[in-house]
Every structure is written in C-alpha cells, then in structure tokens.
Amino acid sequence: MAVVGVLALQGSFNEHIAALRKIGVKGIEIRKPEQLRDVTSLIIPGGESTTMAKLAELHNLFPALREFVKMGRPVWGTCAGLIFLANKATGQKTGGQQLVGGLDCTVHRNFFGSQIQSFEAELPVPELASKEGGPETFRGIFIRAPAILEVGPEVQVLADFPVPSKRLLGSDPSLEDQKENDEEESKVIVAVRQGNTLGTAFHPELTADTRWHSYFLKMGNEITEAASRSCVPVEVSVCHKQPPQNDLPIFQ
Ligand SMILES: NC(=O)CC[C@H](N)C(=O)O
C-alpha cells in the first residue's frame, strides 16, 4: 500500500489526509527531515507560505525537501504548497521566503486579492478528465490563491483561468501602455505538471472530488513501475462517473 507524506507544519494537511483516506491511501504527517525516508511521495498543503517556510526552516526541512524533489519522487503542492515548489515567486512579504523549487514557473502570491476575494470556479480540466474520468470540469476553491504567470518549456499546463488583461498589467511593465486591453481577457495558469511535480493554485482537498488525489497517486505508480517491475502498484480504482457532491467540508 502506498504511503503518502503530507507536510504537516501548518495549513490543510488534515484535509489532504482525509481525502487520501477516501481513496484507500494512508497519508502520514511529515514534520521532520528523517520522516521523508518513510514515504514515496509528498503533498505540500495550502496554508500560509511565509509561515510554513519559517517553520520549515526551524525544523531544517529545506535541504531534505529539495533532495526529495531532485530524486524525482512525486511531489504535489496545493496553493501555498505550489508557492513552495515554484522556482520563482513574486508578491512575497518583505525579506522574501525560502522556496523548495523544482517546478519551472513563476508564481504570484495572493494574485486574486485578499482573503475576502476568495472564490470558487468550475475549471475545465481536460487532462484530469481524460485520465480519471468524471466531469470535464473541476470545482476549484481559491483561497487567497496564487496564480502561475510563466512556465518553462517542460511544464504541462493542466488548467487555466480567465482574468481581465488589465489584471496582468502590474506583473508586466511592458504592457502598461496597452490601455485598449482594458476589456480583453487573458488567462492565468492554475494547475501544472512537470515530470513528477504537480502544482495546483486551488484546494482539491476541500472538495469531495478526489480525482486530483488519484491522479497524483498514479504519478507515483508511473515511476514505481519504471523503477522496479517487482513493486506492487498502488491500487487506485475510484469511480468518478457521478458528478461529485458539494459537501464541504470533507475533513472528518
Ligand atoms: N490558501 C493558500 O494556501 C493561500 C496561500 C497564501 N496566499 C500564501 O501566500 O501563502
């Protein structure tokens, strides 16, 4: 049986563990570097990335987290976790914060505004639906969420979200004069994959739809199978044919 580590310094780690339990997978809380040895994949949850980074520093977790990503183990960052995994973050607090890195993208913190501007949206998720079945869209819960503004060539975009073009002007000074863009729509990226690294700007663990969790688990299977045919693959056989219920919160 797969054992997934969930970084448990702060934020929605319990909700991720509950979502994993729903698909029959054990999630264990990670608070110390040596605990990473016991898991084959890792989820870095949402929360508050500056606080989480300070706690990770305090527990000397950054070198072990970077090593884990470098080894090609599957790692998924949601929201603040996505910020952790980005190679570059903008909109940080004064003094910045340490990042784990590994995901070739630029993430803008709090892109959609403050806590009260948090929102939910149905996101088209073609790759997720083709691999996991179920509805063509996924209900994204964005809580003071970041957005991905740039990705490198090896990054696969799994979901994006429309925003007014002028919303992006502040992030690219060369666009300042394009006032005619006022009514136009652009897109920001909200879910990506690069090899075994997955990032979502929203919170799948706060919905009843476990497709991102099973998608992530299968990323683990892909490398396990490649590394050793003798390993027992993770069983993830969840039926997603019915549209998921909106039954927040799922944490039990
Ligand atoms: N829901 C979240 O994880 C929010 C992330 C938060 N805005 C940060 O910068 O850390």
Q: What is the pLDDT of residues 48-94, one digit of tens each?
A: 999 999 999 999 999 999 999 999 999 999 999 999 999 999 988 87
Residues 142 and 127: their CA atoms lie apart, in Å, by 20
| Pocket residue to mutate for ligand 1, from 9, 15, 49, most atoms within 8 A of Cβ | 49
* Active site annotation includes 205: yes
Q: What percent of the chain has pLDDT over 70?
A: 81
Mean pLDDT of 145-150: 97
- Which token pair is 78? 């949601």
Residues 77 and 94: their CA atoms lie apart, in Å, by 23
Determine which one of 79, 105, 108, 132 is catalytic: 79
Vertex 155 angle, CA 151 and 118, to 5°? 60
This prediction has a pTM of: 0.86
Q: How confident is the model at residue 216 (pLDDT cuts 50, 70, 90)?
A: very high
CA 10 to chain CA mean position, Å: 15
Q: How confident is the model at residue 119 (pLDDT cuts 50, 70, 90)?
A: very high
Question: 47 a known binding residue?
Answer: yes
* Active site annotation includes 67: no
- Which token pair is 106? 């630029």
Distance 99 CA to ligand 1 centre (A): 14
Mean pLDDT of 110-124: 95
Determine which one of 16, 108, 205, 213 is catalytic: 205
Question: 73 a known binding residue?
Answer: no
